[in-house]
Amino acid sequence: MSNKPKILVSRLLPQAVEQRIANSYNAVSNLEDLVLTSSDIIEKAHGLDGLLVSATERCDAAFISALPSSIKIIATFSVGYDHIDLQAAKSAGIVVTNTPDILTDATADIAILLMLGAARGAYWGEQMVRNQKWQRWAPTHPLGIDITGATLGILGMGRIGQAVADRAKAFKMDINYFKRTKLDATIENGAAFFDDLDAFLPTCQFLSINCASTEQTRGLINKATIENLPDGAVIINTARGDIVNDDDLIEALQSGKIAAAGLDVFNNEPDIDPRYRSLNNVFLLPHLGSATPNTRIAMGMRALDNLDAFFSGVTPKDVVNK
């Protein structure tokens, strides 16, 4: 019998990652990428040592308490870990790891795509062409929103926020950021620091949401904070859908308080609020932030690096519930 660690892999991963899993582990894999419920995973986990899950699997306290005692690590194929109850895992003696650093560039690229698409009417412009509504050119309509020289506010100036700021510099944008602590000047690269949200929001002609989903940030973009933005602001979200109150954002988009939005993440994905689909001033993407082959392979390899370290008796690099 092989002495390889036994793990469950909840989703079909890129081929190179699946090959490494096959070489290093006795794995219960999901090569058909079937939808696994929490009950399915718990049942399959008996006799196993660890789980390799993704952001699509909710590992709440009830799920963790039902896992067999043999499970000692949950490695998530994601940077975010808001789908895992970290305290419940820690109490159960389960290490949780994520895959940071890997998807910074890919997600920042999507943020810029959303900003351009929302501001310059990518959705309604394409619909004009596809639906044969494009008639003669006119000097006064339809018009988008200027990006060059505008002020971009970044909510959460971590790795991805910094990468968005670097890209926005190419558009000669002024960068402001809101964060609990000020960055070193060498990292700020000329961006202006705000630790007061009420002072920060009125400066944001464009607002890029790049913070983690936490108790403090869930629902942070709501009626009150939207009212504090300049009239005609543009909101971009590549972080997590639950940072935005859908009712309040949709109302602001309908009224024109918010001129446009570019969204790659949503509450209740993929069953998003259907009202977004009817709005011409919203540019929508299906959570493509990390969706490039190189990024997804790197995420899988980082998750396996953490598993390899754990099963060799070394503390994994990316433990998030110390």
* Residue range 93-117, pLDDT digits in tens: 999 999 999 999 999 999 999 999 9
Contact partners, residue 50, CB within 8 Å, separation at least 6 = 5, 6, 7, 8, 71, 72, 73, 74, 75, 307, 310, 311
Position 240 pLDDT exceeds 90:
yes
Distance from C-alpha of 62 to C-alpha of 49, rounded to nearest angstrom: 19
Contact partners, residue 297, CB within 8 Å, separation at least 6 = 14, 16, 17
Residue range 6-35, pLDDT digits in tens: 999 999 999 999 999 999 999 999 999 999
CATH number for the domain whose boundaries are 6-102+293-311 = 3.40.50.720
Position 1 pLDDT exceeds 70:
no
For 301, the token pair is 């390899």
> What is the mean predicted confidence (pLDDT) over 143-148?
98
Residue range 27-79, pLDDT digits in tens: 999 999 999 999 999 999 999 999 999 999 999 999 999 999 999 999 999 99
CA 165 to chain CA centroid, nearest Å = 17
Dmax (CA) of the chain? 75
Q: Is the pTM for the entire model greater than 0.85? A: yes
207, HSE (Cβ side, Cα atoms, 13 Å) = 29
In the chain, CATH 3.40.50.720 sits at: 6-102+293-311, 104-284
At residue 153, what are phi and psi to the nearest 5 degrees?
-100, 130
- Helices 122-130, 104-119: axis angle to 10 degrees equals 70
Position 181 pLDDT exceeds 70:
yes
Please provide the average confidence, as pLDDT, over all residues in the chain: 97
> What is the mean predicted confidence (pLDDT) over 257-269?
97
Total residues belonging to the chain = 322
Distance from C-alpha of 189 to C-alpha of 87, rounded to nearest angstrom: 36
Cβ atoms of 77 and 99 within 8 Å: the answer is yes
Band of residue 192 on the pLDDT scale cut at 50, 70, 90? very high
Cβ atoms of 291 and 285 within 8 Å: the answer is no
| H helix runs in 150-238, sequence order | 159-168, 185-188, 197-200, 223-227
Distance from C-alpha of 93 to C-alpha of 182, rounded to nearest angstrom: 34
> What is the mean predicted confidence (pLDDT) over 282-286?
98
Q: Quick one: pLDDT at residue 153?
A: 98
Q: Which of 287, 297, 307 is nearest to 55 (CA)?
A: 287
> What is the mean predicted confidence (pLDDT) over 248-277?
98
- Helices 104-119, 159-168: axis angle to 10 degrees equals 50
Tell the CATH superfamily of the 104-284 domain: NAD(P)-binding Rossmann-like Domain (3.40.50.720)
Cβ atoms of 291 and 59 within 8 Å: the answer is no
Q: Show which residues are catalytic.
A: 240, 269, 287
